[in-house]
């Protein structure tokens, strides 16, 4: 499973309690949104949001671990924003955030570290809402000198806007965003997540488009160099910072495949006539 996947691995009794409270069967988590709404009368995404807000059950995947016995494990960022390890067989359900927004990001020192102040504090800033909307996702990384999962985002140089009314922004005003050099650009390029409509061949021809894709109908007169026109920022996967909008299922409930037909056709149980 990819970095940032939300894996449910503990407090299965609490998971079931929430489903019962929402009058939903666990098999229903894996059916499509329309079927779910037709059956229950409310949106499946609403149930996913309730599960996300009940944060003691799950963690964000930070890294995959290959064990000596051949089994797979994961490093996860837990409810206390600490990293611990779990086995793959502990995971009973998982969600992917199809889309999300955020409120704060950390400035970066270079391609390997987030930026710290002279006093040792992490330089966190709150960009304006318009800046958040303009930012483009580059890749997810774990580390950067901290035990933290980050979503790296990019902006064209000069675009970050920081409201002066926010105490974070006024405190760290003198600290500038990270503008990668040409060498750093190559390092980030090797791990970029390309948009779905770009293939590897086209990315090799024009890596700039991975970060600032140009619509097919718009051809710029001159293509600027990526490393001279972009700043990078690290969005931490803190639970009060990441705000999901929609989810999709990354790991099905074990009973889904066997019980789906029975669930759809006989939601109240199989009718039995006793002679």
Helix (H) or strand (E) segment spanning residue 260: helix 256-265
Is the pTM of the predicted complex or chain greater than 0.85?
A: no
Residues 228 and 255 in one domain: no
Q: Is residue 270 assigned to a domain?
A: no
The reported pLDDT for the residue numbered 21 is 93
Residues 114 and 79 in one domain: no
Q: Which DSSP letter does residue 4 get?
A: T
Q: Is residue 211 assigned to a domain?
A: yes
State mean pLDDT over 84-110.
94
The reported pLDDT for the residue numbered 204 is 38
Residues 33 and 130 in one domain: no
Q: Is residue 51 assigned to a domain?
A: yes
Residues 46 and 124 in one domain: no
| Cβ count near 195 (within 10 Å) | 13
Take residue 75 and report the two structure tokens written for it.
């490093």
Question: How does residue 76 score in pLDDT terms, banded at 50, 70 and 90?
Answer: very high
Q: Is residue 111 assigned to a domain?
A: yes
Question: How does residue 185 score in pLDDT terms, banded at 50, 70 and 90?
Answer: low
Query: Of 6-15, 66-75, 182-191, which range is least confident?
Result: 182-191
Residues 158 and 203 in one domain: yes
In this predicted model, what pLDDT tens digit does every residue of 130-167 receive, in sequence order?
999 999 999 999 999 899 999 999 988 667 888 888 88
The reported pLDDT for the residue numbered 70 is 83
Whether the pLDDT of residue 223 is over 80: the answer is: no
Residues 119 and 236 in one domain: yes
The owner of tokens 């949106």 is 43
State mean pLDDT over 252-267.
56
Q: What percent of the chain has pLDDT over 90?
A: 51
Question: How does residue 210 score in pLDDT terms, banded at 50, 70 and 90?
Answer: very low
Q: How far apart are the first and last CA of the chain?
A: 51
Question: How does residue 84 score in pLDDT terms, banded at 50, 70 and 90?
Answer: very high
Give the span between the Cα atoms of 209 and 204, in whole angstroms.
Answer: 10
Whether the pLDDT of residue 245 is over 60: the answer is: yes
Residues 204 and 226 in one domain: yes
Contact 201, 194 (CB under 8 A): no
Residues 122 and 197 in one domain: yes
Q: Is residue 126 assigned to a domain?
A: yes
State mean pLDDT over 170-183.
78
β-pair partners for 59: 7
State mean pLDDT over 176-199.
56
The reported pLDDT for the residue numbered 222 is 43
Residues 26 and 80 in one domain: yes
Residues 180 and 252 in one domain: no
Q: Is residue 1 assigned to a domain?
A: no
Query: Of 20-24, 39-43, 270-274, which range is least confident?
Result: 270-274
The reported pLDDT for the residue numbered 202 is 35
Q: Is residue 12 assigned to a domain?
A: yes
Residues 210 and 249 in one domain: no
Question: How does residue 42 score in pLDDT terms, banded at 50, 70 and 90?
Answer: very high
Whether the pLDDT of residue 122 is over 90: the answer is: no
| Cβ count near 198 (within 10 Å) | 15
State mean pLDDT over 206-233.
49
Residues 131 and 91 in one domain: no
Q: Is residue 27 assigned to a domain?
A: yes
| Cα separations in angstroms, 261 against 23, 44, 103, 223, 265 | 19, 18, 42, 54, 6
Instruction: Give the number of domains in the chain.
Output: 2
Per the structure, the complete domain to which residue 48 belongs is given by: 6-99+243-265
């Amino acid at each position: 499973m990819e970095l940032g996947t939300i894996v449910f691995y503990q407090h299965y009794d609490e998971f079931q309690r929430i489903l019962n409270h929402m009058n939903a069967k666990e098999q229903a988590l894996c059916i499509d949104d329309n079927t779910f709404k037709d059956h229950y009368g409310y949106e499946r995404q609403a149930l996913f949001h309730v599960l996300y807000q009940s944060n003691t059950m799950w963690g964000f995947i930070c890294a995959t671990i290959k064990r000596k016995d051949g089994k797979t494990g994961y490093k996860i960022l837990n409810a206390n924003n600490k990293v611990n390890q779990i086995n793959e067989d502990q995971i009973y359900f998982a969600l992917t955030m199809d889309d999300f927004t955020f409120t704060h990001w950390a400035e970066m020192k270079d391609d390997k570290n987030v930026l710290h102040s002279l006093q040792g504090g992490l330089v966190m800033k709150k960009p304006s809402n318009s800046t958040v909307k303009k930012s483009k996702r580059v890749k997810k990384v774990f580390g950067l000198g901290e035990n933290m999962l980050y979503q790296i985002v990019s902006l064209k140089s000069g675009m970050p806007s920081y409201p002066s009314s926010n105490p974070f922004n006024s405190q760290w005003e003198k600290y500038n965003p990270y503008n990668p050099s040409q060498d750093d650009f190559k390092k980030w390029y090797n791990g970029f997540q390309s948009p779905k409509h770009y293939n590897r061949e086209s990315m090799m021809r024009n890596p700039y488009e991975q970060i600032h894709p140009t619509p097919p109908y718009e051809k710029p007169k001159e293509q600027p160099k990526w490393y001279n026109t972009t700043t990078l920022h690290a969005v931490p996967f803190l639970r009060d910072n990441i705000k999901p909008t929609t989810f999709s299922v990354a790991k099905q409930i074990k009973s889904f495949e066997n019980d789906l037909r029975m669930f759809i056709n006989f939601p109240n149980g199989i009718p039995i006539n006793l002679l």
